[in-house]
Structure formats: C-alpha cells, structure tokens
Structure 1
Amino acid sequence: MSGTDYIRVKDLLVNVYLSSGARWPPKEPTKPTLQPIFITLSIPYDIKNAADNDDLENSISYSALASAVRAALSPTSSAEFTPVFDSLECVGCRIYDLLLSESPYRSSLHQIQLKISQTKAPLHCRAVGIESSAARSADSWYVDRIRYLCEDIECHAIIGVNPAERLEKQLVRFNISIDHPGYLPGTGKFLDFRSLIRRLYENVGKTDFLTLEALASYTALESLKELRLFLRGDQAPSINIKAAKPYALVFASASEVEVCRTFSDYPSEFKTEGVKYQTSDTPSLSTAVIAFGSNLGDRFYNIELALRLLEVPGYSVQNAHAVVDILDTSFLYESAPMYVTDQPTFINGACIIQTNLPPLELLGLLKKIEATVGRVPSIRNGPRAVDLDIILYSDLVIDTRPQDQRQTGENLEGRLVIPHPRMCEREFVLRPLKDMIPDDIHPINGKSIATLLDEVLSSFPIPNFPMQKVVPFPRYPLSSDSKVPLTNIPPVPSNLTYWAFPCSYASPSSKTRLMAVLNSTPDSFSDGSVHNTLSTALDYARHATQSGADILDVGGYSTRPGAVSVSVKDEISRVSPVISAIRKVEDNELLRDALISVDTFRWEVARSAIDSGANCINDVYSFTGPLCYPYPSDDAGEQAIARQYITELKKLTREFAVPVVLMHSRGEAGANKDYSDYSYAGSSKAVVEGVRIELGLKVDDIVKGKGGVRRWLVIIDPGIGFSKTVEGNLELLRDSSSVTDDVYIGSESNRRRNPLAGFPSLIGASRKSFLGTILAGGNGRTTQPNERGWATAATVACAVQQGACAVRVHDIAEMADVLRVANSLWRPL
C-alpha cells in the first residue's frame, strides 16, 4: 500500500487550566486561567484490515481517544484548580504520556502527531499553538519534532517608501512558525509566547523601515533573540516569518514577504551559544555590564580605585593576555540602603566593559578587586567599601546554582547568575543602566531597561530619600601620604566634597549653586585688570566665598572677540599662582578648602592648575580647541588638532578624576550664529536642537569608548552668548532644561536619543553683550558690562527655575541674594 494511513481527531475542544494565562496573565499565581484549547490528533495506522472487514475492532476508536484526552486534561471539579499545565508543551506531554504509555492502544501506537491551538492567545495575537510528533521507544517515548506557531500578530509601524507611509503608522501582520529540534520533558524550559509577542509588538512599533523585506528580517532577528532564552547551547532552531501589509494594495488582501532565518544568518548577533571558556591566547572580546556601589569610608575614592584596578586585570588574574576596557559609564547616584536599612547611604553606578575574560574569570577578578579596595564580608546587603556585580554579560543567561535553588533571587553567595536576578527590582541598578543602554532588552523577560525602570518607579511609593545624581570633587593638591596601590595606575585623590542634584529637573530637592568668576587677565570683557594681581585675586576670592560662592572659576585667557592670544606659559603664570595662593591661606579655612575650577581649553594649563590645587576644568571649547568648527571638521589639519585636544584632555581628566564643564561653542564667540540646519525642530527650538546635536556629539566622543571620561564628571554648558543671536540666547535661557531632556533628536532620517539627556547644566549669562543689546532697545540705555547686574539677576532666576545645577556670575553678593530667593521659590529643600 502506498502512502500512510491516519486516524485523526480534529479540533477537539477541551477546557484546561493554563498557568501562563490567556489574553492576560493570571491575576494570582495560584489561580490559573481556565480556557478553551483545540487539539488535533493524527495517528499513523494501517487501516487496511478495518476497511476490508468494515469492523472497528481492527482499528482504533477515535471516540475513545477523544474521551480519554478530555478526561485527562479537563478540571476534576469546579472547586479545585487541577490539573494545571504550565504551558502548551506540558499539555502535549500529558497527551503523549496518556496515549503512548498508559492507553490500552499503546502497543498499536508507534507515533503520534499533535497540534494544540490556544485561541485566547496573549494580546496582539489571534492564536498561538504547537505542532509536534512523538515516537514510542520501549516503555517510554520522545519528542522528535516541535513547531511553535504564532498566528496574526498585529503591530503598527512606519513602513513603506511612499511619502504618506512615512507620516503615520500602519498595520503589519505577522505569522510565525519556529521549528525546534526537540523538546525535552522535565527541563522546565518553555517558549514564553507572551514575552515573544510583547517583544515584537514593542520593538516593531519603534521601527521605520522602508521595505517589508527589512522589517521581516528584523522581526526574525528579534524572535531569535527571544528563542535563545530557553534553548540549550546545542540547539539551532529555524524561524519562518510572514510579514504582511493589509493596507498596501487596493485589489489584494495584502502584500507579503516570507523569510526563513537561523542563528547563522546573524553572525554578529549570535557569536556565542553558551558559556564557552577560551583556551587561545587571543580570545574574542565580549561586553559586560558591571554595577558598583560603596557606603563605607571615602565612597568616591573606593569606586574610582576599583575601576582603575578593573582596567589592569593582569595584577590579580593568572592570564597574561587579560583585557578589560571600560567603554561607558553611568552617572553616580546617592541612594538610601535597600533591604538592610540601618547603614550609611550608598553611592551607586555602573559601567560597560569589553573583556576577553569569560564570566567566571571576570567574577573572580571582581572579588579580588573588592578585597583590594577593602570590602570585608559581612551580612548580605550590608555595608561595604565597594561592591562589584556582573549584571549582564553579552546576551548570555547563566545560573551556576543547583537546579532546585534557581527559582528565587536567593542563594547567590559564591554563585554566578546572569542576568543578575534582582536587577529588575532595584532602582539603584536600573537608573545607571538607563543612562547607558536605555533601549537594550533584558535577555529573559524581553523588556527594555527603560521599561523596567518605569515599572519599578510606578510600583513603589516616593521614598523618604529619593535617589540623587552626584558630582564628586577631588581634593587637590595631593597630600604627601597619598597611596598608590599599583605602580601602573596614577594615585587616586580623596574626595573634598560633592554636589547632589535631583534625577529630574522638575524635582525641587536641590539648590542651584554659585560659580564666582575670577579673571586674572588684563583684557577680560567685563573685569579685565581688576583681579590680575595676586593680592586683588585673593581679596576677591575671600569676598566671594564669604558671600556664598560654591566654587571659584579662575581664568587667565580671555575668549572675548578680538582678545590678544596668550602663550601657554603666560596663561599658567596667571592662573597657577592664584590657585596655589588660595590653597596656602592659613587664616581662612573656608577659602583654603573652596572648590576651584580652571577656565582653560589647554591641557598644559589644566595640569598645572590641578597640581596647584584646582578641582575642576571649565572648557569653553569642549576638549576640541578653538579652531574646530564644525566638528568633526572637513579640514584634515583642523580635525587632527581637535583629536589631539580631545586625547590629551581626556587622558588628563581620567588621571586626575576631576569634573569638567563642557560648553557649546562654534569657534569665535561672535561668529557662526546660523542654526537654520535645525529648523525642522521648530522656530523656537532650532538653537536648543543645535546645542543638543553639536555638543552631544562632542560629549559622546569624550565619555564613550576606551579612555573615556566618567559620565558623572561631566557638566554641560549650553554656551549662552557664544555664537547665538539675542533671540537664540533667550531661547536657550527660557528652555534650558530641555537641552538635557530625555527625548529623541535629529531629523527623520537620523532620529536618536538626546546624548545630553540627564547631564547637569551650568548657565553663564553674567554681563553678556546680548543683555546690553536688550537694555539698549527701545527707550533703554547703553550699558557697560559691570552695569548689567540687574539684567544678570533675571537670567539667574530663570536658570534656577529651569533647574540649572550652577550659575556662573561676576557679582557674587548680589547674585547670592538672587539665588537664595530663587532657590526658595523653585527649589526648596
């Protein structure tokens, strides 16, 4: 007889309890959802004898099969939630057990093909299901094939080449089938349909592809990323995606593209199928996310020392080729202790590293660094000099705990669990991660870091001590007893003080600080030759600190248009003696310990100033020098000079761990005021958009990549009065908080997150010429810079209202009064 005969029970309706839920997850874990499923059984069976004799005794009763399946799966009573199935795979396993191991027909059954459909599928999908086949072997059985089905997943996205299609999202419908090598009963690894569908719904909705082909390939990639979460390393599924646009064609139901993909089609995304220990001398590099915290001793010193030790791994691991490079850092946060609350507040942050160390070796390195810095084992979640945790390692999922201990976030001591099992409940982990990778997807639950943080913030009441960002200022000059833990890392400075400010500018929990301008130059636009002797500079510094200045900004090079160029040697001679004299004052501790920034764009001057006692660098050209506009420059020579400035100033900032103020500028202050390239942002937003993009590009180059400046050390300055018209300056002032908003920027073809999101800002509008222009308008009056104090006061009040971290001013006592009132109005403590 040719072909194969089948006995089939088609679309058998059974009500079952599924703990995975239906459209929605169960309201309570102990109350699974009762819902209908449809089962189709196909049994290969030679029916020749039954056909020849027209006698059911020579066949298998499909009625008996249907009754047996319904009895095995249906609830035993309305009062009890039994039996309960974790997944459709578990339903299938129960059917295979019933028919291949328990049924009176089992001796006649050698194979069963099964299809199970869940029509009350998770949101955005019409139905999900599995198709599988199992074969009997002796007294047991095994699944030799399984296919997962998602029918009619509906998403909305920008898709298409027609102009109208670029304006509004349209419906896209996906049908997905996944061929799996085989399911092993008892492993507890199931495909989470809900997580897969949610991942596709959220991520497809953010896309704006031109072609359906590109969207289909992207959807296959996202699906494969989800599949890795429940597969063993030796399993290689294939996925078939049908992507359809129902509204594309007038005389057809849809346009459609079908693709079939495996891991091998995306080699850059799936380099590792599990934890593989490298044996070669030059293993490949992987990225990992490390979270860190400290709440004992000098917390900022501990963290900086730990990170410096992290980048010289050879001292503590037996691997001459060990590589660890920090590629990005978060902001630093001060947070109340969690779990064990009777202990000091923490400083928390995170970094992204690139390393050739496999996960377990990396864990060993972190433990040795903790010991070197001074962590003493104590109670869990208790105080520590520094705590270092691997949060993510590429997209791997690792758990070295025994199988029966993997259901909770407990039992972690001496074990490696990646992703960190408690990251999703910890604001002090998720906030730093959002600073660096807000759109990255958690490899298990399929949610973005930004989404996870939103869920944490919405699920807990406002704490008594909300997290705050902090900027630490180190103490310089170094004391004679400063210790150098290793000869190949520079000494780590102790902390002098730190500024705390809210995570959102709208939060009124932090005051705006006062930066006092001390120009030791003969030609500054507003106060040249006033403080350019040592005695007058000290008198001003003493007056400023007594009047309420939080930091002194010492400059020796005027950036006003037409100012005479000054040599490096002359600039140092103007700046360093003033700073050194302040640090040596004996009769005024307030002045001696005052914060000092050096207003310079030259690394040689900055180094000399820090050696003399400066704690901060204020650079009007943002590490690119005075010539580089636009950045990057089309002129090879100018770009080479800019790269030298960036390289040297990054190296200097990393060495001394000092904060830096990076200002937006476009070369000469009075030139380059055209922002029409950013008119797409709106007539009142073009300058703000220009600052975001132009300064953001520089900040990214400074913060990200090997050798980058710590993110928590950067304060941005939108550059009031530098290459802006009067109206452009006013636009920036009245909306300066939006410069650092977490929004998307750029034109349609290059949309991206604002690289300046979350940075603290400094506003420097004091005595600027645009204020003189405003004062002279109409029936106004002509003013000299030192006559613009009242005008400056208005800008200071505006800066406070906009949430500025600091304002830079000349008239200290007067502006201190303005700050006190403005802080009381908008930023009461």
Structure 2
Amino acid sequence: MSSLPRRDSICINDLVLTVPLLSGAVWPKALGQAALQPVLISLSIPHDISLTASSDDLSHSINYSLLCLRLRDSLNDKTAPLETLEDLSVRIFDILLLQSSSDAPLVSEAHLKVTQTRAPLNCKAVGVESKATSLPGNSWAADYVKHFCENLECSTIIGINPCEREELANCSSKHFHRAITPSLNFPLISIFSPKKIGKSSYQTLEALASYIAEETLNYLWNANPDPFLRAPFVSVGAAKPSAIVFASSSEIQIRRTYSDYPASFTRQFKSEHAHADRATHSVALALGSNLGDRLFNIELALRLLEAPPAVLGLGEDAVHVVDTSFMYESTPMYVTDQPSFINCACMIETSLMPLELLKLLKTIEITVGRLPSVRNGPRAVDLDIVFCAGAVIDTRESPRTELDDLEGELVIPHPRLAEREFVLKPLNDMIPDFIHPVLHQTVSALLAAVETGSMYKVIPFPQCPLPTNYVFPHTSVDVVPPTLTHWIYPSIHQPANARRTTSRAPRETRVMATLNTTPDSFSDVSPEEEISRVEPAIAAIRAAHPQLPISIDTFRPDVARAALSAGANCINDTGDAAEGALKWMTEMKKAAREFAVPVVLMHSRGDAGSNKDYSAYGYADPGQTVSEGVRIELGRKVDLIVKGRGGVRRWLVIVDPGVGFSKTLDGNLEVLRDAAAITADVSPRNPLAGYPQLIGASRKSFLGSPCAVQQGALVVRVHDLHEMIDVVHVANALW
C-alpha cells in the first residue's frame, strides 16, 4: 500500500518586527515621512524532517533561531522606509531565498504571512500572504499573493424580521483578495466598505456578502489601469453576531471574481477594450496540427507569429514568444476518424488587444494552409487563445453556455480547456501554478482531474541540408526546413520498477554513435581547423545516409552552423554556463533557432577535471548533492536557452548531466545511480522536470549505458557502436 507524499514544514508564528512604513499607518505621518509600525511575520517552510527525527540531530534541520535573527537584524526601526506591506514581503523573500556574498540561501521555498495589527480603525488587522520559490540565477518568483482584511465592523440594516428592519445591527466581514494588483490600499478599502455597507438594507447575509464582493471587485477593477492584468478573486465572510441567541454569530462565506458579475464587468471590458493603453501583457496560446508536415506547420506558425509586420502590417514589437512547452502527439478528440495531432503551447508578450490578436492568429492559420472543415476536424494548424493574463472575456452580445457559432467572437479563458488534456499538459509545462480565473483551480490541478489518454512527447529533426530546389514562399521569416523524422517518448516519467509492468508506456533508448574528428583538445584546434575536419565528414555521412539524424558535438557556434549546412540536424553543445560563455550561448541559440534543430545541453563547469566541489548543495538529501547541483546549474543554462525572446523551443532541448565532467568518481556514480531524479517532477519545482536525457559514459559505457537505460534516458552516447547497440537492446528488454 503506497503512502501519501510527505510534506513536512518548519513554521515560525507571529514574529514581531517594528519597521518604518510610508503608507497604511493608523496615524499616518506627513507625506514622505515613515511611521514605525508593529507587524507580525509568520513563515511556513517545506522541509523533510525525517532525517532529523531519526537522528535527533538538529544539523539536518532548518535553524529557525537563525531565521528569526536574520530577519530582526535586517528589518527593524533603522531599516530604510518601506512603501507598503508588499515591499516588506519582497524584502523578506530576498533575505530568505537569495544567496548572499558568503552564504547559501537560507531556504528554497517559503509561505509568508505579514500582518499589520495596528491597521485602519475599522478592522482588526490587514496583511499580505504569499508563497515564493527560488529560481536559477539567484532569483525567486512569487507563486501567489493574497491580501486580507480581518473583522471589518460596521452597522447596517440586515434581516427579514420587522424589528431587524428598524434598528442598525452590528455586522462584521472578512475580505480576502487574490490579485495581480501590485499593492492594495487597505485604508481606502476600510473606509469605503463600511460607508457602502452602512447605507445598504439587505434582508439576507447572502445578498450582503455578494454586494461586498462586487463592490470590492469594482474597486480593484478601477485601481488597475491595465484590463489584462486584472485577475483577482475576492473571498468574503459576512457575520451577524446577534442572529442566533445561543451562538456567537451566523456567517456566510463566498468567493467571487469578475465572471460572477457578467452584467457589470463584461460590459465594462467591452467599453474599455477599444481605448485601453497598449500595455504589454502575457497570453497563453495552444497550437495543434494533424495535416501535412505537422511539425513544419507548427514551426512556421510560430515564426509568422513573431513577425506580425509581415502578416498584418503591425508594429515591430507587437508579439514576442517568450516560452514554449514540450511537444506532444495525441489521439484526436470529438471527431476520432482523423490523423493524430501534434500539440504544443506557447507564452507570448503582446501589445495587441484580444480581438486584434485573434485576427492575427486566423490570418496565420490561413497562411500556413488551414481550410474550412468540419468543427474539430483535421487542420493544417490551429491557434487558440487560452488565457489572456487573468482576463475573463466574452465578446458575444448575449453571453450563453452554448459554444456554437463563435466566428469572429472571443471567449477567454478557452471554454473547453478543462476537458482537454492535449491543451492542459503543454500549459502545465510552462504555467502549472496559474489559476484559472473562472474555475479557480491551478493548471496542474485541472490536469490532474482530467482523464488521461495516450500522449507522447515528440522531438522533431529537420532535413539538413535543405532539399535541392526546395521552395519556401514566406520571405518575411527564416526558412523552415521540412521534417526529416521525429522521435516519440512517454510524456510521464516512469520509475524503473514501473517499467516492468505490462501496462507501461512503450519506450526505447536511442544510441548516439560518436565520431571524434578532434582527438586532441578542442581548445588546441582553431575554429577553421575544426570546420575543415567536421564539414566533409558530415557531408559524406549525409550522402550515404539521407534519413539518419546526425549530431555535431561542439561548443563553437561557427562550427555548428557549418555542420548544419553540411547535413547535421542536431547540436550537442558542450560549452559551460559560466559568465564568459554567455556570448557563445547566445550565438549557439541563434543557430539552433534558425535551423530549428534539437540541442543537447550538457552540465559542465569549464575544465572537465576541476571544479568538483558541490558542498553548496549540502541542503539536499544524502547522496543527492551532485544531482541537485546538476539540476540547479544545468537548469539555469536551460532557462537561458529556452525562456525569453528568441528562445529555443522547449521540445528541441535534450539535457546531459555531464558524466565525467567536473565530478569526482563518487559524483559520477551518484548521477548514474539516480539519473531519473535529475529530470523528475519534484518539489520544490525542478527546472529540468520533463526534459529528455542523454547520458554519455564514454569508454565506460558497458556499465554506464545499462544504468542510463534503467534510469529512463532517451539517448546514450557511445564510441563502440555495434557492441553497445547489443548492450542497449538487452537493457531495454530487461527494463
């Protein structure tokens, strides 16, 4: 019987700090002067305490005394004035999650609650709750932010009995706002809420609570100038202390967002959407294709999306792709008598309004080759807007539940998202913690609830060099090569014991044969000399084997370009992620983008025989320090390649933990022994989660290759081809 996943926490409750705040004081100072305010800090830090519990040794735990001391030393009456409670939260996360000049980060994830008890006069307390996780590159990101206002008291007419309609009764409410709004004006809310509530005369708490929620949402709507960044939900608890003789109070608790008041906010969106500022906002798009060269169609659509001036005559910075998902092959839904689909998703930054973006997407569909067909039928490419930041949009004159006849109309979030694994799974690769603004569930929760089908990840290999007389009609974008072949592999990681079952997903490990054209050190060979050796060898192999994927193993962008032009269709980038290598990485990224080829990214710290100290990752579980170092350092390199403008598509990246590079013998054994953990979906979130692995054990591959197969590696790199093919075949059969 399997046990529930352990989720232990170290908590600090109500640590008292006194800090200077420029806003929100109960007795505010003159403009620009800070007032010292007492605040309560509560922390919950995920940490597996099993080792401490079994050894009774505190060195394996988190020193909460040190945490408190660090916070009190950094945040006190001598601290530079802080504008808001949100600014205080940011400072606390900086202290906890960022590496200082001499110390490692105190923690990697934290839940934080900041409470101001001497808050506006009408309520007991206000505050901010948030959760943040450390990221590669000594940074962090907040997963959510929640504002709260506790026990806001006022008097109003409330009740259905005649006596209740004659006298004012005390009423209290609790507000919880989850919003992208940078900060919240707590004093203003505590003033307008009692005034509006005091003028009301509802008969039921239900109506009063709904009214409070709508008025609060209206305040948040007006407080945020960008309609695309309005994504709060409001929780309200309205209590009536005098309602029940033998109870302290009766209470109604509700949670609402803009979509719960379509008459108010859908109409406002329509009236504003023609006049809103051209602020850049994030949009999630889903892409699919099941006709023709499906992989070519997807890449062409993305390149056209990134070149809107050529498509609609729009501005140069109208659209930028900033992240992509893995690519999947899925069986069709709804209309099942049609070819299988290639599905993926991307995140874009755009200044286009939603209907303008919709027009651009439809134009791209036609350009790629989509023709009118039956609903949910075959198509060359399909592009759908899934999320537009947190906006809830329905452009139809009379919003309705039916989803027919949407031509020219737009409904966001996509109305069928919750039932489509082929959309949720790609979204989960990029924004697993994004909360659906209508369903109020994260993308990962929606994916967990949907019935899973047969979806496999896909890695495409383009045809290089381009075929003779190949005509590419779209002169506004880089040439998209036709697809030579593609690999598929399971979309869900399976541990070794799971692969023994009869229900396991089909999987096979590929063998990459290595031809070393530079037996001497790469650093001793000039780029020109390396090209002179590599180019003719690749051209000869390509001429003899037109359908064979060929990888070029180099850290030099010029060599990679020459090899791709000669016939290679994969880059094995052996460069490290040190500061001096960033220029090379940028150029290598451009080459990979231009040729649309897969890229193998290897973990390295420069000289393979040095930099073997991984003590900075001693916080990891025993026997996992090197693996944790690979996850963090290689994850940082992968993020630099994949995320941001001009990034390589996520589905084109294969990761290599770098066996034999900057690791001791024990470190190499650790990587081989538990290679699956390097790309496992673990908490806190692993930046390498889901990526396919290549493992190169060099001349020790008679041992390393079976280990790699047992750990689920997609590719093993070998020198002795024929012998190692037999080894991998046996290992595949065993595991």
TM-score bucket (shorter structure): 0.5 to 0.7
* Counterparts of 2:303 and 2:626, CA distance in 1: 38
For 2:709, the equivalent position in structure 1 comes to: 800
Structure 2 residue 672 is the aligned partner of structure 1 residue 763: no
Structure 2 residue 616 is the aligned partner of structure 1 residue 690: no
* Distance apart, 1:237 and its partner CA: 11
Q: Deviations over 1:369-426 (max 9, x none)?
A: 000000011001110000000001111111123426x224444333211000011110
For 2:64, the equivalent position in structure 1 comes to: 163
For 2:329, the equivalent position in structure 1 comes to: 334
Equivalent residues in 2 for 1:70-81 (5 A)?
Answer: none
Aligned residue type for 1:219: K
2:361 to 344, 366, 374: 366
For 1:730, the equivalent position in structure 2 comes to: 669
Q: Is the Cα–Cα contact under 8 Å of residues 308 and 315 in structure 2 kept in the other structure?
A: no
Structure 2 residue 281 is the aligned partner of structure 1 residue 395: no
For 1:220, the equivalent position in structure 2 comes to: 147
* Distance apart, 1:612 and its partner CA: 0.3
How many residues are paired up?
A: 512
SS in 2 for 1:709: coil
1:500 to 485, 488, 506: 488
Q: Is the Cα–Cα contact under 8 Å of residues 684 and 731 in structure 1 kept in the other structure?
A: yes
SS in 1 for 2:128: helix
* Worse overlay, 643-652 or 344-353: 643-652
For 1:446, the equivalent position in structure 2 comes to: 440
* Distance apart, 1:819 and its partner CA: 1.3
Specify whether residues 227 and 669 from structure 1 end up closer, same or farther in structure 2 by C-alpha distance, changes over 3 A only.
closer
* Distance apart, 1:283 and its partner CA: 2.1
Q: Is the Cα–Cα contact under 8 Å of residues 159 and 211 in structure 1 kept in the other structure?
A: no
2:555 to 590, 597, 601: 601
1:434 to 419, 428, 431: 428
For 2:645, the equivalent position in structure 1 comes to: 706
SS in 2 for 1:799: helix
Q: Is the Cα–Cα contact under 8 Å of residues 573 and 602 in structure 2 kept in the other structure?
A: yes
Specify whether residues 312 and 278 from structure 1 end up closer, same or farther in structure 2 by C-alpha distance, changes over 3 A only.
farther
SS in 2 for 1:763: strand
Specify whether residues 481 and 702 from structure 1 end up closer, same or farther in structure 2 by C-alpha distance, changes over 3 A only.
same
* Counterparts of 2:180 and 2:530, CA distance in 1: 61
* Counterparts of 2:563 and 2:715, CA distance in 1: 21
Aligned residue type for 2:490: P
Q: Deviations over 1:489-521 (max 9, x none)?
A: 111000001110101231542101000011122
SS in 1 for 2:269: coil
SS in 1 for 2:486: strand
Structure 2 residue 578 is the aligned partner of structure 1 residue 619: no
* Counterparts of 1:483 and 1:239, CA distance in 2: 66
Q: Is the Cα–Cα contact under 8 Å of residues 602 and 657 in structure 2 kept in the other structure?
A: yes
Equivalent residues in 2 for 1:443-592 (5 A)?
Answer: 443-456=437-450, 460=451, 463=453, 466-506=454-494, 507-523=504-520, 558=521, 565-585=524-544, 591-592=545-546
Specify whether residues 694 and 268 from structure 1 end up closer, same or farther in structure 2 by C-alpha distance, changes over 3 A only.
farther
Equivalent residues in 2 for 1:85-124 (5 A)?
Answer: none
* Counterparts of 2:709 and 2:507, CA distance in 1: 10
Aligned residue type for 1:215: V
Q: Is the Cα–Cα contact under 8 Å of residues 308 and 316 in structure 2 kept in the other structure?
A: no
* Counterparts of 2:359 and 2:325, CA distance in 1: 23
Equivalent residues in 2 for 1:610-649 (5 A)?
Answer: 610-621=564-575, 624=577, 628=578, 633=579, 638=580, 642-649=581-588
Specify whether residues 803 and 269 from structure 1 end up closer, same or farther in structure 2 by C-alpha distance, changes over 3 A only.
farther
* Counterparts of 1:806 and 1:357, CA distance in 2: 41
Specify whether residues 601 and 226 from structure 1 end up closer, same or farther in structure 2 by C-alpha distance, changes over 3 A only.
closer
Equivalent residues in 2 for 1:70-469 (5 A)?
Answer: 158=44, 163=64, 208-209=111-112, 211-213=114-116, 215-216=128-129, 218-220=145-147, 223-225=176-178, 263=220, 271=229, 274=269, 276-277=272-273, 283-320=278-315, 323-403=318-398, 406-456=400-450, 460=451, 463=453, 466-469=454-457
TM-score norm. by structure 1 comes to 0.58
* Counterparts of 1:332 and 1:238, CA distance in 2: 51
Specify whether residues 403 and 803 from structure 1 end up closer, same or farther in structure 2 by C-alpha distance, changes over 3 A only.
same
Q: Deviations over 1:189-245 (max 9, x none)?
A: xxxxxxxxxxxxxxxxx95216335535842289444799xxxxxxx999989xxxx
Q: Is the Cα–Cα contact under 8 Å of residues 721 and 765 in structure 1 kept in the other structure?
A: yes
Q: Deviations over 1:734-769 (max 9, x none)?
A: 110110111234xxxxxxx211110000000121xx
What percentage of aligned pairs have identical amino acids?
A: 53
* Distance apart, 1:268 and its partner CA: 8.3
* Counterparts of 2:671 and 2:549, CA distance in 1: 27
Q: Deviations over 1:1-43 (max 9, x none)?
A: xxxxxxxxxxxxxxxxxxxxxxxxxxxxxxxxxxxxxxxxxxx
* Distance apart, 1:354 and its partner CA: 0.6
Aligned residue type for 1:795: G
* Counterparts of 1:416 and 1:571, CA distance in 2: 54
For 1:750, the equivalent position in structure 2 comes to: none
Aligned residue type for 1:303: I
SS in 2 for 1:584: helix
SS in 2 for 1:501: strand
Aligned residue type for 2:147: A
Aligned residue type for 1:655: E
Q: Is the Cα–Cα contact under 8 Å of residues 111 and 129 in structure 2 kept in the other structure?
A: no
Specify whether residues 162 and 606 from structure 1 end up closer, same or farther in structure 2 by C-alpha distance, changes over 3 A only.
closer
1:664 to 603, 613, 631: 603
Q: Is the Cα–Cα contact under 8 Å of residues 224 and 239 in structure 1 kept in the other structure?
A: no
* Counterparts of 1:271 and 1:399, CA distance in 2: 16
* Distance apart, 1:801 and its partner CA: 1.1
Which structure's CA Rg is the greater one?
A: 1
* Counterparts of 2:177 and 2:191, CA distance in 1: 8
Gaps of 5+ in 2: 1-41, 47-61, 69-108, 117-126, 131-144, 149-174, 182-188, 195-215, 231-267, 495-503
Gaps of 5+ in 1: 1-155, 168-205, 229-235, 242-259, 524-557, 586-590, 746-752, 768-790
Q: Is the Cα–Cα contact under 8 Å of residues 762 and 808 in structure 1 kept in the other structure?
A: yes
For 2:729, the equivalent position in structure 1 comes to: 820
For 1:186, the equivalent position in structure 2 comes to: none
* Distance apart, 1:820 and its partner CA: 1.1
Q: Deviations over 1:411-467 (max 9, x none)?
A: 4333211000011110000010010001111011110000000011xxx3x64xx10
SS in 2 for 1:721: coil
SS in 2 for 1:662: strand
For 1:152, the equivalent position in structure 2 comes to: none
* Counterparts of 1:443 and 1:481, CA distance in 2: 50
Q: Is the Cα–Cα contact under 8 Å of residues 484 and 490 in structure 1 kept in the other structure?
A: no
Q: Is the Cα–Cα contact under 8 Å of residues 321 and 646 in structure 2 kept in the other structure?
A: yes
SS in 2 for 1:595: coil
Q: Deviations over 1:157-208 (max 9, x none)?
A: 72899927989xxxxxxxxxxxxxxxxxxxxxxxxxxxxxxxxxxxxxx952
* Distance apart, 1:649 and its partner CA: 1.2
For 1:784, the equivalent position in structure 2 comes to: none
SS in 2 for 1:706: coil
Q: Is the Cα–Cα contact under 8 Å of residues 228 and 388 in structure 2 kept in the other structure?
A: no
* Distance apart, 1:824 and its partner CA: 1.6
* Counterparts of 2:177 and 2:469, CA distance in 1: 56
SS in 1 for 2:468: coil
For 2:589, the equivalent position in structure 1 comes to: 650
* Counterparts of 2:67 and 2:192, CA distance in 1: 29
